[in-house]
Amino acid sequence: MTEIIVNSENKRLWWGEGQWVDEPDVLEFVHNDIFCKIIRVAALDGPQEKVYIFGGHLCGYVCIPFGHQDYNKDIFSRDSYEYEVHGGLTMGELYDDGKFWIGFDCGHSGDLVPSMIDIKKFIKKNIMKKNHAIDFSKVAHFNPTYKTWDYVLEQVKHLADQVKERNQDT
């Protein structure tokens, strides 16, 4: 079952109009016998008088079962996993309950992070005043794409399938 953490009104207020407004924020599910999660990132930032909500992008996670060849393996080592997922693995953490989660985020330079829309508009506008020769249509950082709920769901399922497949190889 999906869950809404940030209501549509606040999403519009903090991040503007976009697909994220009507998307869920959290989903926990099992795919191919692997526990999975999708979570929308939203973090308070800024001084008390002007709170800024960073984020709005999605992250996907799968739980590597105890006894799996990749359980508690350092995802940033030279011998890291061979998993293929959007942007590569950016998280691997063993929790106190013994569950080892790996995951990815959709906050890379080519990804549209909703909270960055206004910031990028400001930067683009101010840089354009100083240097008219820059063609921002060719700069990936200024032309990111939003990774939708459906896209992230498929990426999480793909990652879970890879975890399951690697467990059968042992």
Instruction: Give DSSP secondary structure letters for 81-112.
Output: -----TT---EEEE-TTS-EEEEEES-STTB-
Q: Which residue has the higher pLDDT, 80 or 25?
A: 25
Residue 134: per-residue pLDDT:
60
In this predicted model, what pLDDT tens digit does every residue of 39-83 receive, in sequence order?
999 887 666 555 567 889 999 999 999 999 999 988 887 666 679
Residue 140: per-residue pLDDT:
59
Q: Which residue has the higher pLDDT, 84 or 52?
A: 84
Residue 46: per-residue pLDDT:
61
Domain count along the chain: 1
Instruction: Quote the pTM value.
Output: 0.83
- Provide the edge-to-edge strand list for the sheet that holds 100-105: 2-3, 26-31, 34-45, 52-64, 100-105, 91-94
Mean pLDDT of 106-123: 81
Q: Which residue has the higher pLDDT, 5 or 96?
A: 96
Mean pLDDT of 14-32: 94
Range of 136's domain?
Answer: 2-168
Residue 155 has pLDDT above 90, yes or no: yes
